[in-house]
Amino acid sequence: MSGKRLMVLGNARRPGVSEAAARLLPWIQGLASVVLVDLEQREDLSRQDADFTLVLGGDGAILRAARQMGHRQLPVLGVNLGRLGFLADLSVEALRLWLPKVLEGEYRVTRHVMFEMFEGTAPGPDTRGKLALNDVSIFNGAPFHMLDMDLLIDGAPASRYVADGLIISTPVGSTAHSLSAGGPILGQELDAVVITPICPHGLGNTPLVESASHTFTLRLNSGSDQATVVLDGQEALPLAKGHSITVRKAPVQFQLIKVPGQGFYQTLREKLNWGTTPNYREEDSQVRE
């Protein structure tokens, strides 16, 4: 057994996660010291002393684990039991191959921007907010009128949006909802933010890429009486007209364990079919008249 200590996290409400954990845990415990198993997202991880975290599930499980770790982020090794597995890109079979090697140090760690979100304007630098790894989004609700929002960057007016909603995304989240809404793909290790309006009413409201060193405030002027702020597509908070939220770079970074042979563009090609040519119909090599 190696001297490494690890936590095993996941979402027991997802099909197959509890069963996979039951099969894998005896094998994992023969390789390393498992200091915590939490498939219900109930534990305070800030009290745990571990070297890294093994997350069973899909990308949603990793997003949840990142927020659960709070301001004490540990490197994450993700095992894909979900549908896409963009972050959790190891299969169970690959885990059996690679976990012994990871425990011996055969891996690298990539570091990624996380957000802190606050209600209202930005507080002092020592105040901690709600964390997000993918994005902070504002969506309209019933009666589904368009939202009128002001964007301020470092307190200065930057843009006004009339749209169904708006997504403030990290580079990790740029391949998620932001991409579906027309935003660009960002290199995952960039220190950047992309702001993407959802169905904007105006051709001038294109996605904006900006440095993550800035502070971004969104003020809801008018629109739905039931607008909602959503963190990572999982945690929702109401946003009333006249109120605002502020998003800034968190003082911690998400850390993702990558094994040899894994790369961002390889994942884009395999998971999203990015950069591939159309499926052309084969034609006769002879010239047709």
What tokens were used for 2? 């190696």
Residue 180, CA distances (Å) to 78, 126, 259 in order: 23, 35, 28
CA torsion sign for 10, 37, 50, 118 is: positive
Query: Which pairs from 210-216 meet CB under 8 Å and 24+ separation?
Result: 210/153, 212/113, 212/170, 212/249, 213/249, 214/153, 214/154, 214/248, 215/122, 215/153, 215/154, 215/155, 215/246, 215/247, 215/248, 216/151, 216/152, 216/153, 216/168, 216/246, 216/247, 216/248
- Percentage of residues in the chain having pLDDT higher than 90: 67
Q: Is 89 a catalytic residue?
A: no
185 and 91 fall within a common domain = no
The amino acid present at 243, given as its one-letter code, is H
Domain that holds residue 148: 114-251
20 and 50 fall within a common domain = yes
Q: What is the pLDDT of residue 289?
A: 47
Residue 284 lies in a domain: no
Average pLDDT over residues 191-218: 94
Spot the catalytic one: 38, 44, 49, 59.
59
174 and 243 fall within a common domain = yes
DSSP letter, residue 211: E
Residue 280 lies in a domain: no
154 and 239 fall within a common domain = yes
Domain tally, the chain: 2
Q: What is the pLDDT of residue 281?
A: 66
Residue 83 lies in a domain: yes
58 and 135 fall within a common domain = no
Asked if the model's pLDDT at residue 282 lies above 70, the reply is no
Residue 281 lies in a domain: no
What CATH number is given to the structural domain containing 240?
2.60.200.30
Q: What is the pLDDT of residue 287?
A: 45
pLDDT tens figures, 227-279? 999 999 999 999 988 999 999 999 999 999 999 887 888 888 888 888 877 66
* Confidence at 122, pLDDT banded by 50, 70, 90: confident
101 and 143 fall within a common domain = no
